[in-house]
Amino acid sequence: MRVQPRRRPLDGYARRVTERPEGEQNWYPLSALSWFTGHVREGIAVTRHQLELLQPARARPYLLDDDTVARIIRVHRDQAADLDLFQNQADKWKADPGLTGGQRAGVTAYEALITQLRQVNAEVLAVADELSHGTINTVLAKSDLELGIEALMPGPELVTRRIQV
């Protein structure tokens, strides 16, 4: 009997939800606006939480390994690409001349959420990039001499500074 791996709640969040395998974007009716809005709101909450989780590692980046940081970067780059698709959908909805004032306001609010998620996502990517230079893999790859010199040198880049010997 084969046991299925247990799915974590956030697995696949950044998966391409609006792109067909051949690369053509799926288009949705305006009636899906509330779903998209909720999805982006959830993305903001999840991404803010990810940013909060990364903050302690900024002081001690060696707590993370290369694979973890690479996964964070991959997931959030995928999310950034999804946001382009979400904006395309919003542009298509906005182009509909039959939109009511309320519908137009809903699309505008949705676009504001996309902008907000794009900003938080960019912050996560910036922190992950910063952390990628001081992972435990980086520390373990250094010689004892390099680590000793770094330990004696003051500064916030204690672990990530490369010393030319």
For residue 154, the model assigns a pLDDT of 67
Locate the domains of the chain by residue range.
Answer: 33-152
117 near 43, Cβ under 8 Å?
yes
Q: Is the pLDDT of residue 71 over 90?
A: yes
Interatomic CA distance for residues 102 and 110, integer angstroms: 12
Percent of the chain at pLDDT > 70 equals 76
pLDDT tens by residue, 83-106:
999 999 999 999 999 999 999 999
**Does the pLDDT at position 146 exceed 60?**
yes
- C-beta separation of 45 from 39 below 8 A: no
Nearest Cα residue to 35 out of 106, 118, 108, 115: 106
- Region 17-24: what's the mean pLDDT? 58
How much is the pLDDT for 164? 36
Q: What is the pLDDT of residues 96-140, one digit of tens each?
A: 999 999 999 999 999 999 999 999 999 999 999 988 887 767 767
- pLDDT at 12 exceeding the cut of 60: no
Model pLDDT, residue 3: 45
| Residue range 26-62, pLDDT digits in tens | 999 999 999 999 999 999 999 999 999 999 988 877 7
